Amino acid sequence: MDQRLRKTERLKSKKAIDQLFARDGKGITALFSYPLKVNAGAYTSEALPRLLVSVSKRNFKKAVDRNLIKRRLREAYRLNKGILLGNGEWPTSIAFVYVAKDILPFADIEKKMKFVLKQLNKAGKSVSTPAEKE
């Protein structure tokens, strides 16, 4: 499996981001596992999931610290995205929001990322496709 995190896998569309964080939550899977809050869009088997990583400026004043955490989150996702893509159904878009107030080591972030991706994988298995409903 390709372990690269391509530019096409980045979530940049304002409309898609707004839908992911919409209050009504239609078709959105929300998970929380400290230090990550995760919102995932509707499940599909078409294109690879698009990724958004966010770190609060309120909690980390220095851009250096925010960038370090974002790099760690992206790397943990890149190394473990095979967990999510294994079942044939995955979210169209995923937002990872880092909510901790301190910088955690990469090992802790990777452990939580694996846990969250397994949870998203389970959620994808429980979602039925339109062909199954007929």
Domain spans of the chain, in order of start? 7-125
Q: Which fold has domain 7-125?
A: Ribosomal Protein S5; domain 2 (3.30.230)
pTM of the model: 0.88
- pLDDT lower than 50: segments of the chain: 128-134
CA distance 44 to 34: 27
| pLDDT in the model for residue 66 | 98
| pLDDT in the model for residue 23 | 81
Strand residue runs (E) in the chain: 29-33, 36-40, 43-44, 50-55, 90-91, 93-98
